[in-house]
Structure 1
């Protein structure tokens, strides 16, 4: 497996490593597409630990995390969920956008995120102690979540928090160039556009132009698509369905991007 590409912006790597040495859970905060998942992948790689990733959603139950009884070959057997497997194996378990899950589901992580470091498995009538190396990592986007979807204080105060954001322009240019496989000038043009969209006053966009979108656009350029066509497909049309807003974003792109075609 190749080493995940990650460029540090602040002290996030040092904080994560220190937390890992103490077995402390980590809360990642930041906008969609700023690199939270890539950061966790890079940290797991650096620490030499398996990474188990679970995407949070509103229908997620505690059984989806912990496990359930299933019929196999005519017999009822217990099957561990991803969180239980990570606890047993000493892996890093990354619960992405955890607030999308119901709050009665997320409380199952409380005994894992404090001094007990154990996972209660009520259906088996037991608790599973966390193996050495286990670490719990959760993430959410505080700028996107509604008041009804926020992390409870009783959960939040069990975690070390790392705040991530879109990187400075020079670092973001390196990231886009490396990840998309394009030259620095093209990557710089995409980053300039992305930052122009993020800086729009009174923007009606629900989400900003993320680093992830810029990489997608760069990937289309690497496949031979023109820069403007790539931006329209991977950035402009993705950010909104409103015709007027799509038109305005297209005009902004035309004004910001270099005239290459």
Structure 2
């Protein structure tokens, strides 16, 4: 079980994290932040949800605390716990508590993976009260100006045991994100990897064909993140087909039939 120090806290960088908007998501997020509304981001793995939050934290001038959620995440992991140090007992804030105190944006990635009793502690921060009870210290913290709660999840992985309750969902402004358009995705791949534009466009075309295999047994389709990794290998001198086998095909499936089908599509794309 990890302690609070494992969670990433990111402050303002000199340069904005690169993000290419595909709709009005920036404006909606800005308005939600201004009106102290919590935000829920829905979209497939690797479509840019985390990068979007990083970009918005920079744009809004707020520190960002990111928590990758998992099934062992407890309320204490978020709020904090007493620790033994030098024969003394001291309190250490968890990432959620730090964000509340500092007026940071707290981003809970893949929140449906967390236990339901952990998610419940968020409720008082998602309405007009905007406070966090810290039972172990007897404190009730009012969120500092600028605090915002943001959660994300991949609807494609929803299961009955891994969904948010309606009472939780209705506390958030929901934004549906998806893979960018072909032109935008090619721009992102080129910008993030350093590969030439022609390679970026070819990889995006390949991804489009592979994403069509979702209805043929492919559980996870290639993400923009995978395309950037592949393009980076190509830019580093790895032959295109070999890079695609290693960074796209192999991570997506171990099923021999699917792998053969994907390799055929790679070979047809990079003749």
Fold match, TM over 0.5? yes
Q: How many residues align?
A: 258
**Divergent runs of 4+, >2 A:** 200-203
Deviation, 1:256, is 2.1
Q: Is the 8 A contact 2:214 2:221 kept in 1?
A: no
Across the aligned residues of Structure 1 and Structure 2, the Cα RMSD in angstroms comes to 0.9
Q: Is 1:24 the equivalent of 2:37?
A: yes
Deviation, 1:201, is 6.2
The partner residue of 1:15 within 11, 14, 28 is 28
What residue ranges of structure 1 are gaps of 5+ in the alignment? none
In structure 2, what is the equivalent of residue 149 of structure 1? 162
Deviation, 1:57, is 0.1
Map 1:125-204; keep pairs closer than 5 Å: 125-200=138-213, 202-204=215-217
Q: Distance in 1 between matches of 2:108 and 2:76?
A: 14
Q: Is 1:220 the equivalent of 2:233?
A: yes
Q: Distance in 1 between matches of 2:180 and 2:56?
A: 18
What residue ranges of structure 2 are gaps of 5+ in the alignment? 1-12
Give TM-score, length-normalised by structure 1. 0.97
Q: Report which stretch shifted further, 202-211 or 72-81.
A: 202-211
Q: Distance in 2 between matches of 1:72 and 1:255?
A: 61
Deviation, 1:62, is 0.2
In structure 1, what is the equivalent of residue 4 of structure 2? none
SS of 2:210's equivalent in the other structure is helix
Deviation, 1:200, is 2.5
In structure 2, what is the equivalent of residue 42 of structure 1? 55
Q: Distance in 2 between matches of 1:113 and 1:203?
A: 40
SS of 1:139's equivalent in the other structure is strand
Q: Distance in 1 between matches of 2:141 and 2:235?
A: 48
